[in-house]
A and B are shown apart, each in its own frame.
Chain A
């Protein structure tokens, strides 16, 4: 089954404790991206990647890191999480400029 898999689905952590949210897709898509969704603000792009070793900043990259060492994986790293990063996070993948497929989401709470 074609899918985008994120883990974990829910995460509560403390300020400053590094964490990684994983994202994996099995559709051989070149394009992958991370979004955060907050009430009233819609989906905002954090980082995106056009292919292996090619990443670029989205609209809200501060406080986040990404890497794309393999085509299927695109982890999101929070080196020192802060409460303002409490949000619902989505990973998505697509072929070049076609419809994007989303993971199930990760609800992150930073206390």
Chain B
């Protein structure tokens, strides 16, 4: 089992819709989770961080963490074509002190 797993997509949504991106992780001791956005050929850019169970909202973005089920998700409301990118989930591994990334989900927002 990979340490951090994401569906590679592409996830295609119409403009204005809600995009839902999911990530599962294997280390039960993990405490810190992050969502990054990456445009092709560019460096990853932090979108959200979440450290405790529940929801965290920032503008059009909501991160959700469920430690019992070991998944973290990102909701993007009112999706825009400029949101089209690859979204990476990252997890600080408690067992190995490494920041590990999922392989990313490609999001396409259709005008």
Please report A residues at the B interface, Cβ cutoff 8 Å.
31, 33, 35, 40-43, 45, 48, 50, 56, 58, 88, 90, 92, 94, 97-105, 107
Contact = CB atoms under 8 A, between A and B. Distances in A.
Given A42-B102, A45-B99, A100-B99, 15 more contacts: A33-B98, A35-B101, A40-B8, A42-B88, A43-B88, A58-B98, A88-B41, A90-B43, A90-B44, A98-B32, A98-B49, A99-B49, A100-B90, A102-B43, A107-B41
Query: Secondary structure at chain A's binding surface: helix, strand, loop or mixed?
Result: strand
A100 B30 CA distance: 16
Interface string B58-95: 00000000000000000000000000000010101000
Interface of B: 8, 31-32, 34, 41-46, 49, 88, 90, 92, 97-104
Contacts of B104: 42
Contact of B46 (A56, A97, A101): A101
B32 A97 contact: yes
Contacts of A45: 98-100
Nearest to A42: B103
B99 A50 contact: no
A92 B104 CA distance: 17
B48 to A, nearest CB: 9
Given A97-B31, A100-B34, A92 B41 contact: no
